[in-house]
Structure 1
Amino acid sequence: MKAIVQDVYGNADVLRLADVDPPTPGPKDVLVRVHAAGVDRGAWHAMTGLPLIARAGFGPRRPRNPTPGMDLAGVVEAVGAEAGDLKVGDEVFGSGTSTWAEYALARPGKLARKPAHLSFEQAAALPTSACTARRMIGDAADGGQTLIIGAGGGVGSFAVLLATARGDRVTGVCSTGKVAAVRSIGADQVIDYTREPLTGRYELIVDVAGNRSLRELRALLTPRGRLMLAGGEDGGRWLGGMERSLRLFALAPFVKQRLGAPIVLTRRDVLETLTGVTPLIGEVHPLAEAPTAMARLAAGQITGKAVLTVDHS
C-alpha cells in the first residue's frame, strides 16, 4: 500500500511517499481503509521528534513508527474477533496509528460511525483537535466573555465553534490573514495580534498559541476565571510547551483562578457529541502532498484544519 514514511527526525522534507506492507489487525483492532486523514501538531511533534523528552515514546534516535498520523475517516475493512460492534463496510472516523496511509489500524473505542452529513474530509478533521477544544471549553457555559488565542488554527477554530454554539461572547485572536475566517465561524470580536494589544477581562481564556506568559494571561482573567492551555511550540527543545504547563501546575493550588492544561484522549462517546460541528477546513491535499501540508502547518499558514485525502481508485 501507499503510505507517508520517514526514516529520521526533521522538518517536512524527511517525509516521502513509499510502498509498504499493509498493517495486520490483531484481535482487538479495526482495519480501516483510509479516505481522509487529519494534519495536526501531534504529527509535527512525531515528525520532528520535539520536544526531546517526547522521544521516550517516539523513539530515541529515529522514529519507532515510520508513518505519522493519528486522525482518520474511512471504511472498515476488517474487524478483530474482540473488536466490538463495528462491522466491515461501516463508515467511521476517529483516531488510529499511522493514518497517513491507504490502510490504518485503530481500536474500536477510538472510532465512531460517520454520520451521512459529514464528508470523509470533514470527519477526518474532527478527532484530536475537536476533542481537545471540547475539553478546554468544558461542558457548562461560563456565562460571560471567552478569549481564544490561536483562534485561526485547528484546536482554536473548534474552540470558537463550540464556545459560540453554547452562547459565550467570544473574542478570537489570530494573525491578519485569518481574521475573516475566524469572524465567519461566529466570533463576536476578532483581534489581529500583529496590530492590537490584548485587553479586557475574561471568564475563560483558551490559549493554543503558546507564546504568552502565565502572568500576562492571568492578568486578563477575572479573579475566579479559568485558563486552559494547549500546545506551546515556543518552549525549549527539551520540554517544549510542557515548560509552561509545569509552571501552571505548580501555581494552580495557590491561586483562586482555575488553571489547567488537559491531556486529551479521543473516545467514541466524545466523538459522537461532535458530529454536529462543521469544521473550518483551510486546505485539502492528496496524500503525496503531506510534506507540503506539514511545511505550511509549521509556518502557521493553514487556516483551521488541513486534511489529506487518499485515492483508492
Structure 2
Amino acid sequence: MAMGIDRAVMKAAICRRYGPPDVVTIGDLPVPRPGARQVLVRVRATTVSAGDVRLRSARVPRGFGLLLRLGFGISGPRHPVLGAELAGEVVDVGRSVTRFSRGNRVFASLIGCHAEYVAVPEDAAALMPSGLSFATAAALTFGGLTALLFLRDKARVQPGARVLVNGASGTVGSAAVQLARHFGAIVTGVCSAGNAALVRSLGADEVIDHAAEDFTAGRERYDVILDAVGNCSFARCRRVLAPGGRLLLVVGDLPQMLGALLRPSRGDLKVLGGIASVRREDLLLLAELAERGAFKPVIDRSYPFARIADAHAHVDTGRKKGSVVIELG
C-alpha cells in the first residue's frame, strides 16, 4: 500500500453509458498504483469541462458522432472516469520519478481525473504556484493549454495584433483573453451583455454583446479571430479578417476541421484547428503566469464531489462562466 493510503478502494465518478447528467454516479474503484515514472496524487479539486459533457452525452459537433463512438466506446465511454485536470497532493512516487516527492502540491492534465486518487505521469504535472488554492490550480490547464496552442503556436500572436475572442467568458475564451493580452495584443471579446464586465476585467479592450451586434458585419478588421463557440465559419468571418489574418477553430464540425487540416491557406488568410497536448514546459509557463497574476482562471461555481452530476447539468446549460470546479476536500 502506498504511503499515506490506508485503503485499497477509492471513490470515483463513473460514466458507463452515454446520456444525461444522471448517468454519472459515484462508485468504488481500486486505488491505482503509480508506475515507474508516475506519481500518485490525492485529488483535492478537479473540473467538469465542456469536453467532459460532450463525452458523457455523446453530443458533439456535426460529423464527429461516429468518430467519438469508435474512439471512446460504442455505447458508453471505454474509460468510464472522465475529467481532464486536477490539483492535489503527491502521496506516492514511482521508482524512476525525479521531479516530485511525497507531500508536493501539484496540478496536472490527463484523462481520468474524477477520482480520489489518480496516477499521473511525471511529465503531465507541475508544482502548484504559491498562493493558489487547489480549486484555482485545478482550473489552469483546460483553457490555458488550449489558448496557448492557438494564440502562441498556431497564430504566433505578436504585440499590437488585433485579436477577437468569440465566447470570451467561457473556459477557453477567458484564458484566451488573458493570454492574448499577455502577448501584447489588442483584444476584443464577444460574449453576452451580462458577462461584459467580467471580460473587461480580464483585459479585453473592447467587448461586443453577441445578442445586440454581429461582429462579422462590423467595420473592424482582426488579425486573429479565435472561435471558442463553434459558429464562426470561414465564409462568415472572411470579410472581417485583416490581410494575413488567421481564423482559429477551437470548436467546429467535421467538415470545418478537415478543411483546416487539409487546406489551411485561403489566399493570404489561414484557417487553423488543432487539439492541445500536455507539455511540461507549458504547465510551467501557466504556473509562472498564475504566480505573477498574468493568468487567473475564472471559476463559475464549485460543487462537492458527491454532486458531480449537478455540475454536469450546469455545464449542460451552456451558460457557465469559466470553469466549474469539483472539490474533494
- Give me the TM-score of the superposition, normalised by structure 1: 0.91
Residue type of the alignment partner of 1:153? G
Structure-2 residue corresponding to 1:298: 316
Does structure 1 residue 158 correspond to structure 2 residue 175? Answer: yes
Distance 2:108 2:247 in 1: 27
**Secondary structure, in 3 states, of the residue corresponding to 1:8?**
coil
Deviation (angstroms), 1:96 = 2.7
Structure-2 residue corresponding to 1:15: 24
Structure-2 residue corresponding to 1:255: 267
Distance 1:59 1:27 in 2: 28
Does structure 1 residue 172 correspond to structure 2 residue 189? Answer: yes
Does structure 1 residue 265 correspond to structure 2 residue 282? Answer: no
Equivalent pair of 1:96/1:104 in contact (CA under 8 Å): no
Equivalent pair of 2:234/2:271 in contact (CA under 8 Å): no
Deviation (angstroms), 1:254 = 4.2
Cα deviation per residue 1:144-202 (whole Å; 9 max; x = unaligned)? 31100010100000000111123211110012332221122111111111111112210
Distance 2:233 2:266 in 1: 17
Query: 1:226-265 to 2 correspondence within 5 Å?
Result: 226-232=246-252, 241-265=253-277
CA spacing shift, 1:216–1:123, aligned 2, 3 Å? same
- Which one of 30, 38, 62 corresponds to residue 47 of structure 2? 38
Residue type of the alignment partner of 2:307? E
Residue type of the alignment partner of 1:29? Q
- Give me the TM-score of the superposition, normalised by structure 2: 0.87
Distance 2:111 2:102 in 1: 19
Deviation (angstroms), 1:75 = 0.6
Equivalent pair of 1:74/1:91 in contact (CA under 8 Å): yes
Query: 1:148-227 to 2 correspondence within 5 Å?
Result: 148-198=165-215, 199=218, 200-227=220-247
- Aligned pairs, number: 303
Distance 1:242 1:307 in 2: 29
Distance 1:88 1:243 in 2: 47
**Secondary structure, in 3 states, of the residue corresponding to 2:283?**
helix
Does structure 1 residue 310 correspond to structure 2 residue 310? Answer: no
Cα deviation per residue 1:193-249 (whole Å; 9 max; x = unaligned)? 1111112210111111101221112221112112211023xxxxxxxx333111233
Deviation (angstroms), 1:126 = 0.8
Cα deviation per residue 1:36-70 (whole Å; 9 max; x = unaligned)? 10221221232123442122331222221111111
Equivalent pair of 1:31/1:104 in contact (CA under 8 Å): yes
Deviation beyond 4 Å, 4+ runs, structure 1: none
Distance 1:68 1:150 in 2: 24
Equivalent pair of 1:181/1:303 in contact (CA under 8 Å): no
CA spacing shift, 1:91–1:160, aligned 2, 3 Å? same
- Structure 1 unaligned segments of length 5 or more: list them: 233-240
Equivalent pair of 1:6/1:63 in contact (CA under 8 Å): yes
- Superposition RMSD in Å: 1.6
Structure-2 residue corresponding to 1:236: none
- Which one of 57, 60, 72 corresponds to residue 48 of structure 1? 57
Does structure 1 residue 278 correspond to structure 2 residue 296? Answer: yes
Identity of matched residues, %: 37
